[in-house]
């Protein structure tokens, strides 16, 4: 009985989430006039790929795609590189942990919009503003992703028994080797989750992308222009394009998310 | 394998000492069991020796080399944790060869050593499994194998049997003892279980609240406990302790006067207070032999027959005394503990010699 209610609830949630997805997908493959039809139609009457071609003509879509993927992957790398040692330290040393918590939360207290303008000023000084490789944006995104990765990884490291690391030290491993050979493999699911989340944070990020890059844009501001200038079909086409890498990342990281790595360490 | 010298090991925290001035010399190949109630400092002791915790004072020498101040990986010490601490993402083989890998042992030599120690601990069939697929007893043996594979100078065991069920405990205990004697590795074994202490060690160290109470071979500690703590801690149930007072050549316990003759501890002043200790198994039925000693009438309602023996309680003055009688004695038996096997402790709880 309660199982049926759960299934129904799951279906309802999935349905609610699917409606906008379906509408966007429909708009992407139908002529724009159909998007404005009243009453709105649920099923496409005429299927076409003209929106994709038109969007590519209107904005530098290929360049945006490359930059978006590049910045997102670089952000994942830099964020994890910074978050891993910080999270481990915070999990193992309570005093350090409390301070790092504070720093991470403060970094998220201000709306990105409020930081974006002063950040743009600083980046102009350092020659990172509107960088064709998106280096400035990458740094900003790292700042955004860091708290998420930190919190996920810290709680994961807390779940790794200290005794496993101590055992490795006694078995002759250096602290660095212990981290790489014992601690790191045991937080793999959390590492996967953090990577996914950080990728999506960068992939969807709009405010920094809008204000730190003017001509070398990532996909979200391009999509914003198409949408703001009244092209629901074109912006839907870009939105559908944006789904593809996100889904690929999900599929790549999904196996890592499966838990159970810690089973059997103890009694 | 090496002899070990622990001198004045001390660990203090802000809220007090966990271990105070612990001194012990272990001979090469000796197995010493450190026993005490939880919180007595025995785990702290192991962590200090292993280098996982910082000492407030003291020195550690292993094989003539001073090792305090060295990192854990440089001390040549292996440890079996209470939780086993097996690496869950590695197979049993990977777990066991990890210490060899970390020391750069060549692949062929590694294989040989792993097979050898796996045979010794009877885990050959488990080598390709992950710890998650093993039973508690199997994990325990893998943990032992991982610690023994590189032949450490000193082997530390932290309550290795506490997570096993009672039946398994006996067989693993015997196994640990056999392996230790066969390999001749100097071993420090920590437990709160006095059965393990009695059966395993060449010597035992009784710890309480961070302080050493007694160091002796197990049977000697049982026969001649150094103080009332050791007397009550060893044995199950522990020794009965009764307040008494010396009156000339006799002592008064409750309403009894026991003539001690030669057995009177010389150090005890006439009229002075002392504590008398009686092992529960020291009592014999009083109707068959006439012996001078402590007499107790057992309460028939308290009888707990265990087959080979029966547990009873009785009163001496206001104190309750536990009696462990052989077989199943008739109800309302009165018992006597002969004066030759009574123990005497001074007002501070220390044993009167001898």
> For testing the chain A interface, which of B87, B95, B147, B172 should be mutated: the one with the most A CBs within 10 Å?
B87
A-facing residues of B in 31-50 (CB < 8 A) are 50
CA distances from B90 to A232, A264, B97 (A): 53, 10, 10
> For testing the chain A interface, which of B80, B88, B91 should be mutated: the one with the most A CBs within 10 Å?
B88
Asked if the C-beta of B132 comes within 8 angstroms of chain A's C-beta atoms, the answer is yes
Whether A151 and A225 share a structural domain: yes
Whether A35 and A75 share a structural domain: no
A160, A186 contact by CB (below 8 A): yes
Locate A108 and state its tokens.
């998220």
pLDDT at B354: 62
Pick left, alpha or beta for residue B66 (phi over 0 → left; psi -120 to 50 → alpha; otherwise beta): beta
Q: Of A169, A174, A186, which is closest to B88 when you measure between CB atoms? A: A186
Chain B residue whose CA is closest to A186: B89
Q: Give residue A140's domain range.
A: 60-257
> Does pLDDT of B82 surpass 60?
yes
Neighbouring-strand partners of residue B22: B9
Spatial CA neighbour of B196 closest among B36, B318, B13: B36
B150, B183 contact by CB (below 8 A): no
pLDDT in tens, chain A (267 residues): 689 999 999 999 999 989 888 888 888 898 888 878 778 778 888 888 888 998 888 889 889 999 999 999 999 999 999 999 999 999 998 888 888 888 887 777 778 888 888 889 999 999 999 998 899 999 999 999 999 999 999 999 999 999 999 999 999 999 999 999 999 999 998 999 999 999 999 999 999 999 999 888 999 999 999 888 888 889 999 999 898 888 888 888 887 777 666 666 665
Spatial CA neighbour of B155 closest among B194, B211, B200, B199: B200
**In this predicted model, what pLDDT tens digit does every residue of B268-309 receive, in sequence order?**
888 889 999 999 999 988 766 657 888 898 888 888 888 889
**Mean pLDDT of chain B, nearest integer:** 90
Q: Of A163, A173, A186, which is closest to B83 when you measure between CB atoms? A: A163
Whether A9 and A83 share a structural domain: no
Which residues are CB-contacts of A251 (< 8 A; sequence separation ≥ 6)?
Answer: none
pLDDT at B20: 92
Q: Of A171, A185, A262, which is closest to B98 when you measure between CB atoms? A: A171
Locate A40 and state its tokens.
């709105």
Spell out which residues of chain B touch residue A170, defining contact as CB-CB under 8 Å: 50, 52, 72-73, 77-79
Split into its structural domains, chain A has a count of 2
- What CATH code is assigned to B240-345? 2.40.50.140
B78, B152 contact by CB (below 8 A): yes
CB contact under 8 A, A169 and B88: no
Spatial CA neighbour of B323 closest among B347, B344, B297: B297
Q: For residue A13, how far is the Cα from the chain centroid?
A: 22
Spell out which residues of chain B touch residue A187, defining contact as CB-CB under 8 Å: none
Asked if the C-beta of B83 comes within 8 angstroms of chain A's C-beta atoms, the answer is yes
Whether A153 and A230 share a structural domain: yes
Q: Of A163, A173, A267, which is closest to B73 when you measure between CB atoms? A: A173
Cβ-based burial of B332 (10 A; exposed 0-12, middle 13-18, buried ≥19): exposed
Task: Look up tokens 């839907």; give the residue.
Answer: A236
pLDDT at A253: 83
CA angle at B4 for the pair A163 and B53, rounded to the nearest 5°: 30
Q: Of B52, B73, B88, which is closest to A265 when you measure between CB atoms? A: B88
Three-class SS state of B48: helix
Crossing angle of helices A135-158 and A112-126, rounded to 10°: 130
Distance CA A202, CA B29 (A): 61
Whether A134 and A199 share a structural domain: yes
> For testing the chain A interface, which of B72, B153, B156 should be mutated: the one with the most A CBs within 10 Å?
B72
**In this predicted model, what pLDDT tens digit does every residue of B107-160 receive, in sequence order?**
999 999 999 999 988 899 999 999 999 998 899 999 999 998 988 999 999 998
Neighbouring-strand partners of residue B350: B227
Locate A32 and state its tokens.
């724009």
Neighbouring-strand partners of residue B91: none
Whether A184 and A82 share a structural domain: yes
B338, B284 contact by CB (below 8 A): yes
Q: Of B51, B85, B133, which is closest to A167 when you measure between CB atoms? A: B85
A156, A187 contact by CB (below 8 A): yes
Q: Report which of residues B178 and A42 the model is more confident about.
A: B178
Sign of CA dihedral B258, B259, B265, B271: positive
Q: What is the DSSP string of A106-175?
A: HHHHS-HHHHHHHHHHHHHHHT-TT-TT-HHHHHHHHHHHHHHHHHHHHHHHHTS-HHHHHHHHHTT--H
Spell out which residues of chain B touch residue A260, defining contact as CB-CB under 8 Å: 132
Whether A120 and A166 share a structural domain: yes
Whether A1 and A127 share a structural domain: no
Residue count of chain B, please give it. Answer: 354
Q: Of B73, B86, B133, which is closest to A170 when you measure between CB atoms? A: B73
Whether A77 and A145 share a structural domain: yes
Report the helix count and the strand count for chain A, using DSSP H and E.
Answer: 14, 0
Which chain A residues have any C-beta within 8 angstroms of a chain B C-beta? 161, 163-164, 166-174, 177, 182, 185-186, 260-267
Spell out which residues of chain B touch residue A180, defining contact as CB-CB under 8 Å: none
pLDDT at A261: 65
DSSP 8-state secondary structure symbol assigned to residue A86: H
Spell out which residues of chain A touch residue B99, defining contact as CB-CB under 8 Å: 171-172
Q: Does residue A30 lie within any of the structural domains?
A: yes
ipTM for the predicted complex comes to: 0.84
Spatial CA neighbour of B336 closest among B221, B253, B274: B253
B22, B213 contact by CB (below 8 A): no
Residues of chain B with CATH 3.40.50.300: 4-233
Q: Does residue A53 lie within any of the structural domains?
A: no
- Residue B318 backbone dihedrals phi, psi, to 5 degrees: -100, 0
Residues of chain B with CATH 2.40.50.140: 240-345
pLDDT at A217: 92
pLDDT at A35: 79
Whether A164 and A219 share a structural domain: yes
Distance CA A145, CA A87 (A): 13
CB contact under 8 A, B84 and A177: no
Whether A4 and A90 share a structural domain: no
Classify domain B4-233 at the CATH class level: alpha beta
pLDDT at A260: 61
Q: The domain spanning residue A123 has which CATH number?
A: 1.10.3720.10
> For testing the chain A interface, which of B14, B85, B153 should be mutated: the one with the most A CBs within 10 Å?
B85
């Amino acid at each position: 009985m309660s199982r049926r209610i759960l299934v129904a609830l799951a279906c309802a949630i999935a349905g609610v989430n699917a409606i906008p997805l379906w509408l966007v997908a429909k708009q992407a493959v139908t002529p724009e006039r159909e998007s404005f039809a009243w009453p709105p139609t649920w099923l496409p009457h005429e299927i076409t790929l003209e929106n994709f071609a038109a969007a590519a003509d209107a904005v530098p879509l290929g360049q945006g795609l490359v930059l978006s993927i590049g910045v997102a992957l670089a952000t994942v790398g830099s964020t994890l590189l910074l978050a891993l040692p910080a999270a481990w330290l915070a999990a193992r040393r309570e005093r350090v942990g409390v301070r790092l918590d504070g720093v991470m939360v403060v970094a998220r207290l201000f709306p990105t919009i409020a930081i974006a303008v002063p950040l743009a000023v600083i980046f102009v000084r350092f020659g990172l503003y509107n960088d064709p490789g998106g280096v400035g944006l990458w740094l900003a995104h790292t700042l955004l992703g860091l708290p998420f990765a930190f919190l996920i990884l810290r709680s994961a490291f807390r779940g790794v028994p200290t005794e496993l690391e101590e055992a490795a030290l006694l078995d002759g491993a250096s602290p660095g080797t212990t981290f790489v050979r014992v601690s790191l493999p045991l937080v793999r699911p959390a590492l996967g989750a953090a990577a996914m989340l950080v990728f999506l944070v960068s992939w969807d990020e709009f405010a920094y992308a809008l204000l730190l890059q003017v001509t070398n844009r990532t996909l979200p501001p391009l999509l914003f222009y198409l949408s703001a200038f009244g092209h629901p079909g074109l912006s839907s086409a870009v939105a559908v394009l944006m789904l593809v890498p996100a889904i690929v990342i999900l599929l790549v990281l999904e196996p890592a998310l499966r838990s159970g790595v810690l089973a059997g360490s103890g009694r | 394998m090496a002899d070990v010298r622990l001198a004045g090991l001390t660990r203090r925290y802000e809220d007090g000492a966990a271990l105070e001035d612990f001194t012990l010399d272990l001979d090469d190949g000796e197995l010493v069991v450190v026993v005490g109630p939880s919180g007595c400092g025995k785990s702290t002791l192991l962590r200090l020796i292993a280098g996982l915790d910082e000492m407030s004072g003291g020195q550690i020498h292993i094989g003539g080399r001073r090792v305090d101040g060295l990192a854990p990986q440089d001390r040549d010490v292996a440890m079996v944790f209470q939780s086993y601490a097996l690496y869950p993402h590695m197979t049993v083989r990977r777990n066991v060869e990890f210490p060899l890998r970390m020391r750069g042992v060549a692949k062929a030599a590694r294989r040989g050593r792993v097979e050898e120690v796996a045979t010794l601990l009877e885990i050959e069939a488990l080598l390709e499994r992950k710890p998650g697929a093993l039973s508690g007893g199997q994990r325990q043996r893998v943990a032992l194998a991982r610690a023994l594979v590189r032949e450490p100078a000193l082997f530390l065991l932290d309550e290795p049997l506490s997570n096993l069920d009672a039946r398994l405990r006996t067989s693993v205990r015997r196994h640990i003892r056999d392996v230790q004697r066969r390999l001749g590795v100097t071993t420090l074994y920590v437990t709160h279980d006095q059965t393990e202490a009695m059966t395993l060690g060449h010597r035992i160290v009784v710890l309480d609240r961070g302080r050493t109470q007694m160091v002796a071979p197990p049977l000697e500690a049982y026969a001649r406990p150094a103080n009332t703590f050791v007397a009550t801690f060893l044995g199950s149930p522990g020794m009965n302790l009764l307040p008494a007072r010396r009156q000339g050549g006799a002592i008064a316990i409750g309403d009894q006067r026991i003539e001690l003759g030669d057995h009177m501890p010389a150090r005890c002043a006439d009229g002075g207070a002392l504590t008398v200790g009686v092992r529960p198994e020291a009592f014999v039925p009083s109707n068959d032999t006439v012996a001078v000693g402590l007499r107790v009438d057992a309460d028939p309602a308290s009888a707990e027959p265990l087959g080979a023996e029966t547990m009873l309680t009785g009163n001496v003055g206001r104190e309750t005394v536990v009696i462990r009688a052989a077989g199943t004695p008739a109800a309302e038996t009165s018992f006597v503990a002969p004066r030759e096997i009574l123990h005497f402790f001074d007002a501070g709880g220390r044993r009167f010699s001898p």
